Amino acid sequence: MPIGTSGTRIEPFLLRPWFSERVWGRKSLLPWYGETGTAEPVGEAWLTGPQCVVETGLFAGETLADVAEELGGDFPLLVKLLFPEEKLSVQVHPDDAMAHEVGEARGKTECWYVLEAEPGATVALGLKDGVGVKEVEAAVADGSLESLMQYVPVAVGDMLFVDAGTVHAIGPGVVLLETQQTSDVTYRLYDYGRPRELHLEKGLRAMKTKTKAGKIAPRAMDGFTRLIEEQYFVVDRFEVASGEVVMTLEGDGCLVGVAGSGVVRCGEEEIPLKKAQTVVVPLGSGPVLVSGDGLAFVRCVAPVQVGELQL
């Protein structure tokens, strides 16, 4: 149920990121973050995760999961920053149909917006032509699965679509802003010998030999750049050299600062927006004004027609 139909207007609020320790992550997340609260490698900063704590407004001090439960809804997008120091596993995510079969709320379709990329950085996105379940199973057994993948060079500003069922992997040398369905269901097919659980049976069921995964060309819109528009999310980039922009989100969403700083205003509320910070904008918040000087931010929105329970 969207907030707009709950009878209570919920104004935007700032969320504190939650840092996820990963074997493939980094000890330092500078210049994005200083302290992470752990000495272990961090691979992901969850920006709209259920554990993220609200820092402003009516729900200050509560987690996003608490807020969703109180409102009888669900925040449909999990937005993260990814910081790989080493290769992620070769993995695949289920679509909605398979997720429901195995008792999960939803599948996991995602996209990656490249914020940093070293020269020569690549991601593995999909299988080579002619590769099927038998070839993947055999390659997992003999350690050659990487040779069956298609590799895509990436640069700052690239947007990549990763629909459910795409066998994929992320290499080092990048920082990615990931927007996905709210799900943490991942089936590892191959993990370079690291002692982590694999999910071969489910992964082979989930994988598709042909998907729509790949780079998405940006589109110039009226005052912003549309990076991707898919069933589960719409992602746009805004540049506010000076002055302000006004917007109304057509679904639950968030604003993520990627450069500079600014302020988000809605009603009486005034919220700072800085690099690597996230402001959640629930459906029904009304017009939102964003002002800044040299501010760049990304807007991630879940279209209402998806039919999810939403905030």
* CA atoms of 83 and 184, how far apart (whole Å): 17
Name the CATH code of domain 18-51+77-215 (choices 3.40.50.720, 1.20.1250.20, 1.10.3720.10, 2.60.120.10): 2.60.120.10
- Of the residues 22, 26, 106, 188, only one is catalytic, namely 188
Residue 188 is among the residues annotated as catalytic for this protein: yes
How far out from the chain centre does Cα 11 lie?
Answer: 22
The pTM of the full predicted model, rounded to 2 decimals, is: 0.94
Walking along the chain (311 residues) 10 residues at a time, the average pLDDT comes out as: 51 96 96 95 97 95 94 90 97 97 95 97 96 96 96 98 98 97 95 94 96 97 96 96 90 96 90 96 91 95 64 51
- Integer Rg of the chain from CA: 19
What's residue 8's pLDDT? 64
* CA atoms of 147 and 165, how far apart (whole Å): 19
18-51+77-215 shares its CATH topology with 219-306: yes
Please return the burial class of 67, using the count of CB atoms within 10 Å of its CB with bins 0-12, 13-18 and 19+: buried
List the chain domain ranges: 18-51+77-215, 219-306
CATH number of 219-306: 2.60.120.10
